[in-house]
Amino acid sequence: MSFNHIVIQNILRDKWTYISYFLSSVFSILVFFFFLITAFHPMMDAINPNSSLGMIMIFCSFIVYIFSFIFIIYSMLAFLKKKTKSLGVFIISGASMKQVQKMVFRENMLIAVVAIITAIVVGLIVSPLFLMIVKNVLQADSFGMYVPVQAIIMTLILFSVLFLIVSKFTTRFIKKEEAVQLLKADVTQEKIIRPTPWKFLLSILVNAVLLLFFKVSPGIIESLGIVYYIILFISLLITIYFVLTQGILFAIRKLQKSTSYYRKTNMLFVSNLQAKGNSHAHIIYLLSILLLAVFVTTSVLYSSYYNVEEDTEAVYPYSFQYISLPDNPIDQEQQDIEFMETTLEQNVGDYDAYQSAFKTDEDRRIGFMSNANFNALGTHQAMTLNDNEYYVVAGNEGRTPSTDTIQDYVDEELQYVGLGEQLILSTGLREVYYVIPDVIYEEINYPEYHVFAYELEEWTEKLDVAEKIESQIMTEPGERLVTSKISLYDTESFIKSIIFFIGFMLSLIFLSAAMSILYFYLQTSMAGEKEKYLGIRKIGLSIKEISSIVTRELSILIFVPFTFAAILLSLVLFSIRDALSPAFFQMTAVGVGIILLLFVLSFFIIRKTYLKKLVE
């Protein structure tokens, strides 16, 4: 009987111990694989890695990989725990520690190899269906089937490395324990939560300092770049961990001191919580993090989808905007305008037309607009300036311009009366527009650009008109600039629907991961719980009382993470409330509500099946 023979027999003859570990490994590899299939899709090449969409993709892959890492470490430790007794038997039968480590390592690697292959095969089988759904959801024909060579190679490499590290790392854990402790693993107590006030305070302090940078010196954050965010992310995770474990410990102590501790099933319930404090806390922690991830992806990504119309309008105020530069031939300009107007008349009928102009210092990208020309544009409130006043309008969305460079261009002293953040023309055309009295405007000696703007009703549905016009009239640098919020909206909606889809997938991934962690946890603790309740039932515990204990325990496992994640989410949303629209809160509330519904449903299902298995 060779060493490898023992390894293989260990696995084959104890399938059920290994199966949950195997399945959770397959699951997390599969999740990552699917994500890579989407991320490496040829269509995604069109997305610039430096754009916000590209950043989201990179960030999401990072999160998914970290998540797989934690998930696999978690399931490996849970699995090792289940095996501790048999490891003890090996040791007292004369196996050296080194041999046991070698055995566990080989078992793990064997499972890992099978799991990676299974996941990739399953992934390849399901991927056409998956991509078909993607195609239909996105209504993008380009999202067809392809052979995800890159995704396969990447999954193979990343997970082989991950398993190698995790296996080496976890087998080191066995060394520390004495054989006696291994043998008694099933009767001795699990680790209870220790009070760690200093670590707790320290982690909160570190976090506070990190967050304070936002307020005090954003410069440091900018210079550190992504490193800062990674540090912040990790420190947040650690803090959440301490808040949860210490909070649970505190709650248990409070409960034990309360007078109702000796009433009915309270004692059994609380002592159960305490005895399994550490593993319960870990589950609650993992679920909270996953749920928080679900909430964030849901609210951020879904709502970005929701706001496309307003966002588009904020950067491109007009359905069509035609800017004629001084070098644009005059008959070309007239021909274009005529074409646009006849096309609009034929296809839409009713539209608003605006004519305006501005002078500009091309080098500094500063625009000057007369009060009359300003009022001639249609998307904002008209106003009247006095002779010595000027008004500033932003030229880029979301960037506050300098308000006093106007003084370099005019002789007399002008009075600043205000700043308009809402754009009057397409974003990025000029840095800033200075609206000045008509008389002063006449004196400014810079080339004048003519503006022709058109606004349609129900413009989001006029894509065909936009296409017709843009096929004839195109931007010619130095001569004319044509922009349309209709076609921008179309492009944006497509990108946003990809983001929406990624968000949807991520939240699905995290949600199912949360559920499977809970499932595996309950499954591994089932045998011990069953034995315990059998013992207590003998001395007179009714099924109803068991049910009340189990109900409370399960609701803690399921709803504490939910509440905690919801509180964290609302804290985050509250701190950035100024940047959010009411629609955002609506979407978030709807998303959280749906997940709550899912949780309540699964709570009842889990409770029913768990109880049934417990007392059968």
Residue ranges binding another protein (CB under 8 A): 184, 187-189, 259, 262-268, 271-272, 274-276, 532, 535-545
Q: Are 517 and 557 in contact (CB under 8 A)?
A: no
End-to-end, the C-alpha distance of the chain in Å comes to: 40
Planar angle of CA 64, 69, 73, nearest 5 degrees: 145
For residue 96, how many other CB atoms are within 10 A of its CB? 10
Smallest gap from Cβ 516 to another protein, in A, equals 26
Nearer to another protein, 282 or 485 (CB): 282
Smallest gap from Cβ 279 to another protein, in A, equals 12
Return the closest-CA partner of residue 502 out of 78, 64, 72, 104: 64
419 bridge partner residues: 392
Nearer to another protein, 264 or 577 (CB): 264
Smallest gap from Cβ 88 to another protein, in A, equals 15
Smallest gap from Cβ 281 to another protein, in A, equals 15
Amino acid at 489: Y
Nearer to another protein, 412 or 616 (CB): 616
Residue 577 Cα distances to 19, 219, 297, 438, 573, angstroms: 46, 23, 17, 40, 6
For residue 546, how many other CB atoms are within 10 A of its CB? 19
Task: Count Cβ atoms within 10 A of the Cβ of residue 247 and give its class: 0-12 exposed, 13-18 middle, 19 or more buried.
Answer: middle
As a dihedral over the C-alpha atoms of residue 259, residue 260, residue 264, residue 265, rounded to 10 degrees, the angle is -110
Smallest gap from Cβ 540 to another protein, in A, equals 3
Nearer to another protein, 25 or 274 (CB): 274
Smallest gap from Cβ 611 to another protein, in A, equals 13
**Which structure tokens are listed for 117?**
């292959």
Nearer to another protein, 188 or 384 (CB): 188
Give the span between the Cα atoms of 236 and 571, in whole angstroms.
13
Nearer to another protein, 184 or 577 (CB): 184
Nearer to another protein, 280 or 485 (CB): 280
**DSSP secondary structure letter of residue 54:** H
3-state secondary structure 414-478: CEEEEEECCCCCCCCCCCEEEEECHHHHHHCCCCEEEEEEEEECCHHHCHHHHHHHHHHCCCECC
Residue 276 Cα distances to 123, 184, 414, 465, 545, angstroms: 36, 16, 73, 66, 20
Smallest gap from Cβ 197 to another protein, in A, equals 24
Smallest gap from Cβ 194 to another protein, in A, equals 16
3-state DSSP assignment of residue 541: coil
Nearer to another protein, 48 or 542 (CB): 542
Smallest gap from Cβ 264 to another protein, in A, equals 5
Own/partner pairs, 207-211, CB within 8 angstroms, 24+ separation: 207/232, 207/235, 207/236, 207/239, 210/235
Nearer to another protein, 149 or 539 (CB): 539
Nearer to another protein, 13 or 544 (CB): 544
Return the closest-CA partner of residue 569 out of 269, 251, 240, 345: 240
Q: Are 135 and 141 in contact (CB under 8 A)?
A: yes
Smallest gap from Cβ 561 to another protein, in A, equals 22
Nearer to another protein, 2 or 189 (CB): 189
Nearer to another protein, 398 or 535 (CB): 535
Smallest gap from Cβ 304 to another protein, in A, equals 47
Give the span between the Cα atoms of 267 and 253, in whole angstroms.
12
Planar angle of CA 432, 433, 439, nearest 5 degrees: 150
Smallest gap from Cβ 178 to another protein, in A, equals 15
Give the span between the Cα atoms of 421 and 249, in whole angstroms.
50
